[in-house]
Structure 1
Amino acid sequence: MRASTDQPQRFRVLIAHRQVGTDTASGRACAALAEEFARRNVETVTAAEGSDAQGIATSDTGLHAMLVDWSMPVGDDASGDAAALVDAIRARNERVPIFLLTEPEKAKTLNAEKLRQIDELVWLLEDTAPFMCGRVESAMRIYAEGLFGPMVTALSRFHRVHAYSWHTPGHTGGTAFLKHPAGRAFFDFYGENVFRTDLSISVGSLGSLLDHTGPIGESEKYISRIFGSHRSYTVTNGSSTSNRIIFMACIGRDQVVLCDRNCHKSLEHGLIMSGGIPQYMIPSRNRYGLMGPIYPGRFDEKTVRKAIADTPLSKGLEDQQPAFAVVTNSTYDGLCYKVDRVLSQLGPWVDRVHFDEAWFGYARFNPLYAGRMAMRGDPSAHDPNGPTVFCTHSTHKLLAAFSQASYIHVRDGRNAIPHPRFNETFMLHGSTSPFYPIIASNEMAATMMDGASGAALTRESIDEAIHFRQLVGRLRRQAEAKKDWFFRTWNADTVHDPSSGKRVNFEDASPELLGTDQQCWVLHPGDAWHGFDDLEDDYCMLDPIKVTVLMPGVQDDGSLGPKGFPASLLTAYLHARGIEVEKTSDFGVLFLFSLGITKAKWSTLLAAMLDFKHDYDQDTPLSRIMPHLVADYPDTYTGLGLRGLGDRMFEELRRTSQMQNLQKAFQSIPEARMSPADAYQALIRNRIERVPLSQLADRTIATSVVPYPPGIPMMMPGETAGAADGPYIGYLKALKSWDKTFPGFGHDTHGVEVHDGEYYVQCVKD
């Protein structure tokens, strides 16, 4: 018989009292409480100082109750007493039981506000230990039972029953794995609970994801309340599927779709599946190659209708009401719209607007992002005569959920899609065998954002990102004072300080100001740092937690300076030190300061950046800092140093005009000869051929060509590759040359097949 790892929950309680551990009446009373808790199998944590108690109370999320001495000071600050400790606890957790340990005379100093923050008063020297511990234990049970949402609560209760399973999945709670050595090792690796909660739709007590009944249906209502929607849906195959569901529910064949060109590949899939005719809206780009917002004028009805009339695929459809519009918010690089401004342009004439917020699910829960997300404000205030608004969240990206977990949120307005009709499309993409832990983790992501904890958790991420940005800024300023170089983070150089009325350097600004004032992150017109010209004020802001570190080499006009190196060099250096980044563009590296980031993590990153600078300046041999690279490609890298490699890479970028071709390619739309749906039909009917890059001019592309980075379609299915000396083929030629010159630093371009160094693209047969 295998020993169980499934231990019953054990409660933990904090006793914070200045007399803990002393031979005094209060100290002995605290000891009696600890002994009684131990008898009840409750673990006790103690603190005799207020500062220690505050550290424990705000960092140990496994505490189920806290007993706080009303007379306890916090450090040497007389104003930071037990009241401050209670405030700190409530700022993170509105529901954990707080018992105030006091005496009748001292209790007179309590006011109504503090009494509302606590659960009970305890007369430490009058009540008995068994009575007090019984009250605390009862409160802890109620608290623990209310921690979870409806789905996780039901799943936990079902798990505790340990019912025999006569249904799928065939591993029946994991026991099948125990019949084989490899299966046993697999079972031990993941632990028992994940197998016990991998259940079948046959378990009726948990409800149905496809019918939205039972605890699963209640879970979606619970998620809807927290995220401010009229309806929310749990999706178990990522926001790629969520986007496709919305597309197919909203768009019919040959209907015009307004589509952000800065789109995820799943939106291309939606066009293919629905048969919609895209009218692309081109976003802006800056000198670093970072994708910016779609300017408000490009949402204007007259402008868009003229573009529809001028596009061969949609000619004659300019009088048709566009069925749908989709906008990416925030962008991969962290730029987010003033949503009301976007809707003021689209809302009067487009009935359904979809914001793809895969990377922005946390925004509703911190006031810094106010007005920047689709589910903003009170859902009851949503105008029923305004457009129906959809948004999707990848809860596994920057919230705490398992991979593939996603939400669809809906606010019904004009031409709303009733749930029964919408659910037909939902079921088309859903599975009758969903993975229940994904559903549970999706709910847990909402639970963690509910109430005070959402604001506290998001603020921590914001604060860590700010501290990192400011420290990099100070190091850069020190380097420039010595006419030296260092990295910079992409954000404003100066911000307005309302308290002084003056502008201050970003790195010197108050972290509190940067963490609470949205204007510090708005892309104001005329500010040189962001690189977007003629931008409407307050229209777009930068998300602080998406930190782009910029390399030297790009000048303010977008040209290459005399010296510099590409971002891929830093990424390779960090990889060799066990640090993985989110995205690498030509001269920028993106780091995500998600909920899991700590000071230790970003301090390690900063230390690695300082080491890179040292090794770059010293031209340290690659054989010492990237030995695997030299071992894999000795003919290219033997005897080369880090700076020497950076210089060669920089000159290659200059020679091939890679950045210039990238900018031109993404600031225009290729000629469209077929819709994405028709191009896909050519693909599946094998009316395609593989064409080498040298013969690609003027050919019609059968599959999208998506360079990574930036991970945005350069050519969509049915579009042409353009002239041989045009930007699309020019950019692919530059990538091909780079891949040949710098093995180990090759590009990943979806839609391009590489054989013996040659680039091939699938094209529709002429």
Structure 2
Amino acid sequence: MTEQEIETQFTDMSVLVVNDKLAEANAIGRASRRLVEDLRHHGVGTILSNSAEDALAVIGANPHLQAMILDWDLQEDPAHRHAMDLLRSLRAHNENVPVFLLAERSDATRIPMEVMSEADEFIWLLEDTMEFISERIVAAIRRYRTQMLPPMFRALMNFAKEAEYSWHTPGHTGGTAFLRSPAGRVFHDYFGEALFRSDLSISVGELGSLLDHSGPIGEGERYAARVFGADRSYYVTNGTSTSNRVVMMASIARGQIALADRNCHKSVEHGLSLTGAVPVYLMPHRNHLGLIGPIPPSSLTAECIRNRIADTPLAAKVEEKPALAIITNSTYDGLCYNAPRVEELLAPSVDRILFDEAWFGYARFNPIYKDRFAMRGDPAQARRDGPTIFATQSTHKLLAALSQASMIHLREGGAPVEHSRFNEAFMMHASTSPQYAIIASNDVSAAMMEGVGGRLLTGEAIAEAISFRQTMARLTNEFMDRGTWFFGVWQPDRVRDDSTELAFADAPPDMLAQVQSCWMLEPGAEWHGFPNLERDYCMLDPIKVTVTTPGMDLSGGLSKHGIPASLLTAYLAEHGIVAEKTANFSILFLFSIGVTKGKWGSLVNALLEFKRDYDANAPLTRVMPALVQSHPGRYGAVGLRDLGEEMFTAMRDGRIPELLQLAYDVEPRSILTPATAYDQLIRQEGDATGLGGLASSIAATAIVPYPPGIPLVMPGEALGALDSPVLRYLGALQAFDQQFPSFEHDIHGIEVLDGEYRAMRFLAP
């Protein structure tokens, strides 16, 4: 894209002018004012600042600055500290934005090398014409704009701006079809012309092809590989569910063994069905809150895996070594492995490892996550004698891409995966008409993470999460000192840096943001509740914040009183706050790069309001009117605390937390592979029945409580007797759902008919 083509894509040019002499009645002041006037005449908007302090605030608040004009003699400091600090701050936010130093020629020989290398050009204000200076600044801005955009997005913008006559799909032809209908016109106006002009077809050769990775799309994928540290990267337009299935189909042949994290997303179950793999599951632990922990390192040793295979009847007959191991990293609740250690443990057993990093695409860009992710370090210096490593990442989840945007990253090891073979699996799942805006959003996500941008954005998200965590810890301590309750946060009570141990609430924020040991799951530490861990094996991701409600102690026992998390979630939703995941007594909040102080401050205020309303037993008609409106007879005369106590009693009497642990801790017996179960389902074998009819039968489909989408039972597994942990747990959930409408559990694989759970089953042979 040329500078002129780029120019039309931007609505403004914003330049920060830092000069404390603008108002002075002397030659420098008059020349400075003429420069500002001339820039505005050229269409350049200026933000004026007369101090380093004010300019720092502008830099922090305005990421769209396209140049800075800096007075080298700012605030008449002989050491030029103000100007140097300002320049360092700008470069910490943006490595490439052009900087012009206002100086006199006699100053040039005394300007430090650091400043000379960081500034792009000098302005001799009293010696050059204003027209010459302005044109240099505008030219630099245009060059910056051209270089700023990633390759595929740049090509898409260039193509979409051309007023071509389209004779190919899509049928709306740049949005014009919508203008022929009243409803279509509203749709067009709502989303805007740019979206429809960039919604193109695979037949647009100028943009290349997602299927053969050519042209600007292929260039974008190679750009992403460089940014994310991969040998090869692939853009995916249907989420990491598809990315996981692509990797599995490229790595596993029918009848081969897959080592599958039991804490896997259901897309892995789909991959098992598609490939015909024989699964051998790697079992993580759950803690007192029901949070899923890491797979213990002892379970990843070659000896343990051999024993697991021998104890799995369907796998014991397979003579080949496992084809692929699938590890969830980080977990939904933010637990991150020591990735080199996992690779070391698995290397004797498997030649390819897939790290499902759907929720962890940002890890490479902040040092707090050192060694906690798959694509570590420089690929050129990586070892090549270990397993081939895949990482699948949902760029739409915690980076800034559109929904369904995902990437597959690959780093070759001792069992390489040729591109041509891999691409057969890729094409099997990729649409021949991909959404170009999704592809472009992957491109832009990579650009946002490149260089200092990734460190800055992730650092800000971590800082906000730490501020929220420490605020909550202080509030909890204050309420405890008053002898009353408040919400907790699942995190260490105390943190250590070398020999210094501090209460979490009192630790310096910089220490929490920089010292990885503050977040480590130390072996035997009471707060996390996971057994059999090695030191340095697993850490908690600071930005995944789990708020806990009263009701459960560290041993997993229920207290005398408690507040089910689902009630708090419903209350928050009616106050405009939507959580990511709700368990029995915990709620997950994600601090993505879009979270601001105002946003988490509103969450703190809402939690305080809940406490006030709960303690006052405020009527639901006032504090949760939508709930009452949906079921007026059930909730119209009930107070908030009354409902909370009733729900807690039902959970305690139904033993729901206890049955949850039993249901996930006892691994069901595999009778059929997921692929065989799917074949029988398509042949219309089996039937749907209530919980009583499921006893002593085989699950025809996965049963997956949502969120987080972790299978309770896989297809082809035995459901056990009527008093088995799985069926007892489902029965307890069914009873709860019948008692509390609007608080029903979302379970994939379960159909609810007249309040009764039903699922597909096969009769046991």
The TM-score bracket by the shorter chain reads over 0.9
Residue 392 of structure 2 corresponds to 392
Do the aligned partners of 1:235 and 1:242 also contact (CA within 8 Å) in 2?
A: yes
Which aligned pairs between 1:146-185 and structure 2 lie closer than 5 A?
146-185=147-186
- Describe the SS at the equivalent of 2:535: coil
Residue 350 of structure 2 corresponds to 350
2:364 counterpart of 1:364: yes
Do the aligned partners of 2:666 and 2:725 also contact (CA within 8 Å) in 1?
A: no
Out of 156-165 and 696-705, give the one that drifted further. Answer: 156-165
Residue 22 of structure 2 corresponds to 20
Which AA in structure 2 matches 1:200?
A: S
Which AA in structure 2 matches 1:635?
A: G
TM-fit CA distance, 1:80 = 5.8
2:580 counterpart of 1:579: no
2:426 counterpart of 1:414: no
State the alpha-carbon separation in 1 of the partners of residues 221 and 15 from structure 2.
32
Do the aligned partners of 2:357 and 2:393 also contact (CA within 8 Å) in 1?
A: yes
TM-fit CA distance, 1:109 = 4.5
TM-fit CA distance, 1:163 = 2.2
State the alpha-carbon separation in 2 of the partners of residues 577 and 9 from structure 1.
36
Residue 32 of structure 2 corresponds to 30
Residue 505 of structure 1 corresponds to 503
| Aligned equivalent of 1:752, options 750, 753, 756 | 750
Which AA in structure 1 matches 2:596?
A: T
| Aligned equivalent of 1:639, options 630, 637, 640 | 637
Which AA in structure 1 matches 2:206?
A: S
TM-fit CA distance, 1:509 = 0.6
State the alpha-carbon separation in 1 of the partners of residues 13 and 636 from structure 2.
60
**Structure 2 CA distance for partners of 1:304 and 1:607, relative to 1, 3 Å:** same
Question: Percent identity of the aligned residues?
Answer: 51
Do the aligned partners of 2:497 and 2:517 also contact (CA within 8 Å) in 1?
A: no
Do the aligned partners of 1:461 and 1:545 also contact (CA within 8 Å) in 2?
A: yes
Deviations 1:638-667 (A, max 9, x none): 322111111111111110111111111111
Out of 24-33 and 732-741, give the one that drifted further. Answer: 24-33
Do the aligned partners of 1:574 and 1:580 also contact (CA within 8 Å) in 2?
A: yes
Residue 651 of structure 2 corresponds to 653
State the alpha-carbon separation in 2 of the partners of residues 167 and 707 from structure 1.
43
**Structure 2 CA distance for partners of 1:604 and 1:417, relative to 1, 3 Å:** same
**Structure 2 CA distance for partners of 1:151 and 1:352, relative to 1, 3 Å:** same
Residue 332 of structure 1 corresponds to 332
Do the aligned partners of 1:585 and 1:710 also contact (CA within 8 Å) in 2?
A: no
Which AA in structure 2 matches 1:532?
A: F
Residue 737 of structure 1 corresponds to 735
- Describe the SS at the equivalent of 1:397: coil
**Structure 2 CA distance for partners of 1:526 and 1:640, relative to 1, 3 Å:** same
Residue 279 of structure 1 corresponds to 280
2:698 counterpart of 1:700: yes
TM-fit CA distance, 1:438 = 0.8
State the alpha-carbon separation in 2 of the partners of residues 570 and 101 from structure 1.
57
State the alpha-carbon separation in 2 of the partners of residues 308 and 546 from structure 1.
34
Deviations 1:289-331 (A, max 9, x none): 00000001111111111111111222222x4200110000000
Which AA in structure 1 matches 2:333?
A: D
Do the aligned partners of 1:282 and 1:668 also contact (CA within 8 Å) in 2?
A: no
Deviations 1:353-388 (A, max 9, x none): 000000000000001101000001111222222111
Residue 320 of structure 2 corresponds to 320
TM-fit CA distance, 1:619 = 1.0
Which aligned pairs between 1:423-462 and structure 2 lie closer than 5 A?
423-462=423-462
Residue 3 of structure 2 corresponds to none
What is the Cα-based RMSD across aligned positions, in Å? 1.6
Which AA in structure 1 matches 2:74?
A: M
State the alpha-carbon separation in 2 of the partners of residues 450 and 710 from structure 1.
30
Residue 242 of structure 1 corresponds to 243
- Describe the SS at the equivalent of 1:395: coil
- Describe the SS at the equivalent of 1:640: coil
Deviations 1:404-440 (A, max 9, x none): 1110000011221100111111111111111111111
Name stretches of at least 5 consecutive residues in structure 1 with no aligned partner.
Answer: 1-5
Which aligned pairs between 1:343-742 and structure 2 lie closer than 5 A?
343-498=343-498, 501-742=499-740
- Describe the SS at the equivalent of 1:200: coil
Do the aligned partners of 2:494 and 2:503 also contact (CA within 8 Å) in 1?
A: yes
2:118 counterpart of 1:117: yes
Residue 3 of structure 1 corresponds to none
- Describe the SS at the equivalent of 2:304: helix
State the alpha-carbon separation in 2 of the partners of residues 215 and 40 from structure 1.
32
- Describe the SS at the equivalent of 1:396: coil
Which aligned pairs between 1:250-329 and structure 2 lie closer than 5 A?
250-317=251-318, 319-329=319-329
TM-fit CA distance, 1:126 = 2.6
TM-fit CA distance, 1:37 = 1.1
Do the aligned partners of 2:66 and 2:97 also contact (CA within 8 Å) in 1?
A: yes
- Describe the SS at the equivalent of 1:375: coil
State the alpha-carbon separation in 2 of the partners of residues 207 and 708 from structure 1.
38
TM-fit CA distance, 1:614 = 0.6
Which AA in structure 2 matches 1:460?
A: E
TM-fit CA distance, 1:227 = 0.5
State the alpha-carbon separation in 1 of the partners of residues 600 and 27 from structure 2.
46
2:211 counterpart of 1:210: yes
Which aligned pairs between 1:186-201 and structure 2 lie closer than 5 A?
186-201=187-202
Do the aligned partners of 2:302 and 2:348 also contact (CA within 8 Å) in 1?
A: no
Which AA in structure 2 matches 1:357?
A: E
- Describe the SS at the equivalent of 2:710: coil
Which AA in structure 2 matches 1:292?
A: G
Do the aligned partners of 1:348 and 1:387 also contact (CA within 8 Å) in 2?
A: no
- Describe the SS at the equivalent of 1:90: helix
- Describe the SS at the equivalent of 1:201: coil
State the alpha-carbon separation in 2 of the partners of residues 709 and 408 from structure 1.
24
TM-fit CA distance, 1:8 = 5.3
Residue 44 of structure 1 corresponds to 46
2:229 counterpart of 1:228: yes
2:138 counterpart of 1:140: no
State the alpha-carbon separation in 1 of the partners of residues 489 and 357 from structure 2.
23
Which AA in structure 1 matches 2:152?
A: M
Which AA in structure 1 matches 2:581?
A: K
TM-fit CA distance, 1:164 = 2.1
Q: What TM-score comes out, normalization by structure 2 length? A: 0.97
TM-fit CA distance, 1:165 = 1.6
- Describe the SS at the equivalent of 1:446: helix
State the alpha-carbon separation in 2 of the partners of residues 692 and 161 from structure 1.
59
TM-fit CA distance, 1:108 = 4.9
Do the aligned partners of 2:497 and 2:515 also contact (CA within 8 Å) in 1?
A: no
TM-fit CA distance, 1:49 = 1.8
Which AA in structure 1 matches 2:701?
A: T
- Describe the SS at the equivalent of 2:117: helix
**Structure 2 CA distance for partners of 1:103 and 1:189, relative to 1, 3 Å:** same
State the alpha-carbon separation in 1 of the partners of residues 650 and 657 from structure 2.
11
State the alpha-carbon separation in 2 of the partners of residues 467 and 458 from structure 1.
14
Which AA in structure 2 matches 1:40?
A: H
- Describe the SS at the equivalent of 2:717: coil
Do the aligned partners of 1:739 and 1:747 also contact (CA within 8 Å) in 2?
A: yes
TM-fit CA distance, 1:394 = 0.5
TM-fit CA distance, 1:71 = 2.4
State the alpha-carbon separation in 2 of the partners of residues 326 and 586 from structure 1.
27
- Describe the SS at the equivalent of 1:33: helix
TM-fit CA distance, 1:628 = 2.0
State the alpha-carbon separation in 1 of the partners of residues 86 and 556 from structure 2.
51
| Aligned equivalent of 2:66, options 64, 67, 90 | 64
State the alpha-carbon separation in 2 of the partners of residues 58 and 288 from structure 1.
39
Q: What TM-score comes out, normalization by structure 1 length? A: 0.97
Do the aligned partners of 1:665 and 1:714 also contact (CA within 8 Å) in 2?
A: yes
- Describe the SS at the equivalent of 1:85: helix
State the alpha-carbon separation in 2 of the partners of residues 314 and 348 from structure 1.
18
State the alpha-carbon separation in 1 of the partners of residues 518 and 111 from structure 2.
39
